């Protein structure tokens, strides 16, 4: 109860989204996102880049697979989730991810062409409408916390 868990990021994709299809026709897309900030330290300009693991599920993953690609600038809203797992040597590890809830493409017009990287090229591209420049993409996951 009583909780807000919200992340807002604007950054560039470090790689094309990696798309996997799970049982039950569930799509998952994931990619690293860089958010950089710069500041002065001792008179020198320092740029610090933070890398975030972004995960998108179902419909949002499908859209990500079509429109997002390495280098694109994107606004992402989501929530933090930390998973624990064991690596191959059996050591417990933690991974913190941002589970995206919606995203908006930002940046120049040429960024708004459908992505054509090896990861997400496919024949259905023509059936997909052009992404609205700056359009917000969100998908109802039927996980709405409604009281009925």
Q: Which residues bind its own copies (CB under 8 A)?
A: 1-12, 34-40, 45, 47, 49-52, 59, 63, 73, 75, 79-82, 89, 91, 93-96, 104-108, 128-140, 143-148
Positive or negative: CA dihedral 141, 56, 37, 95: positive
Asked if 49 is part of the footprint of DNA (rule: CB under 7 A), the reply reads yes
Q: Minimal CA–CA distance to 64: which of 108, 99, 19?
A: 19
Q: At its nearest, how many Å lie between its own copies and the CB of residue 16? A: 19
Which residue among 88, 91, 92, 108 contacts DNA (CB under 7 A)? 108
Q: Locate tokens 């900030």: which residue?
A: 37
Contact at 8 Å (CB) between 56 and 66? Answer: no
Q: Give the C-alpha separation, 100 to 95, whole Å.
A: 15
**Residues within the interface to DNA (CB under 7 A):** 1-2, 11-15, 32, 34, 36, 47, 49, 51, 70-71, 73, 108-109, 112, 133-134
């Amino acid at each position: 109860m009583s909780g807000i868990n919200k992340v807002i990021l604007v950054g560039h994709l470090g790689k094309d989204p990696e798309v996997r299809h799970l049982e039950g026709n569930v799509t998952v897309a994931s990619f690293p996102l860089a958010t950089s900030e710069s500041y002065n330290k001792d008179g020198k300009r320092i740029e610090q880049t933070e890398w975030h693991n972004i995960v998108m599920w179902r419909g949002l993953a499908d859209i990500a697979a079509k429109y997002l690609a390495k280098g694109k600038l994107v606004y992402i809203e989501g929530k933090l989730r930390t998973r624990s797992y064991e690596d191959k040597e059996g050591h417990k590890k933690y991974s913190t991810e941002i589970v995206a809830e919606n995203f908006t493409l930002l940046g120049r017009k040429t960024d708004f062409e459908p992505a054509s990287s090896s990861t997400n090229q496919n024949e259905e591209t023509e059936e997909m409408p052009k992404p609205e420049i700056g359009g917000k993409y969100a998908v109802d996951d039927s996980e709405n916390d409604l009281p009925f």
